[in-house]
Amino acid sequence: MQKNHPFIRNHEGNIFPSFTAVLILGFFFLLFPVYSQAQEIDILLKGGHLIDPKNKIDTQMDVAITNGKIFKVAKDIPVTKAKKVIDAGGMYVTPGLIDLHTHVFVGSNQGFADGFSSLSPDDITFKAGITTVVDAGTSGWRNFPQFKKQVIDRSQTRVLAFLNIAGSGMTGFPSEEDMNDMDSRMTSLVIQQFPEVIVGVKIGHYRGVEWTPFDRALEACNIANVPLFVECHLPKYPLEEILKRMRPGDIYTHSFCTAVDRACVLDDQGILRPYVIDAQKKGVRFDVGHGGIMFHYSVAVPAMKQGLLPNSFGTDLHRSSMNSGMKNMLDLMSKYLNMGMNIEDIIFRATWNSANSIKRDDLGQLSEGADADIAVLSIRKGSFGFIDAGGTKLTGDRRLEAELTIRAGKVVWDMNGIAAKSQFNK
Residue 161 and residue 101 in contact, taking contact as beta carbons nearer than 8 Å: no
CA–CA dist 312, 354 (Å, integer): 5
The pLDDT assigned to 424 comes to 63
User: Per-10-residue mean pLDDT for the chain, 426 residues long?
Assistant: 49 52 51 52 98 98 98 96 96 99 96 97 98 98 98 98 98 90 98 98 93 97 98 91 98 91 90 98 98 96 98 96 95 98 98 98 98 98 97 98 98 97 67
CATH topology of domain 32-93: Urease, subunit C; domain 1 (2.30.40)
pLDDT value of residue 36: 46
Q: What is the pLDDT of residue 173?
A: 87
Q: Give residue 252's identity as a one-letter amino acid code.
A: Y
Residue ranges, comma separated, of all CATH 2.30.40.10 domains in the chain are 32-93
Can you give the pLDDT at residue 22?
Answer: 46
Confidence at residue 201, expressed as pLDDT on a 0 to 100 scale: 98
d(CA 81, CA 74): 17
Q: Give the global pTM.
A: 0.91
Cα–Cα dist 258/247, whole Å: 24
- What pLDDT score was predicted for residue 232? 81
Other Cβ atoms within 10 Å of 289 Cβ, number: 28
pLDDT of residue 421: 84
From first CA to last CA, the distance across the chain in angstroms is 72
Pairing of strands 374-387, 393-407: antiparallel
The whole-number pLDDT of residue 1 equals 43
pLDDT digits (tens, 9 = 90+) for 263-317: 899 999 999 999 999 999 999 999 999 999 999 999 999 999 999 999 999 999 9
Residue intervals of the chain classified under CATH 3.20.20.140 are 95-406
Kindly indicate whether the domain formed by 95-406 is annotated with CATH number 3.20.20.140: yes
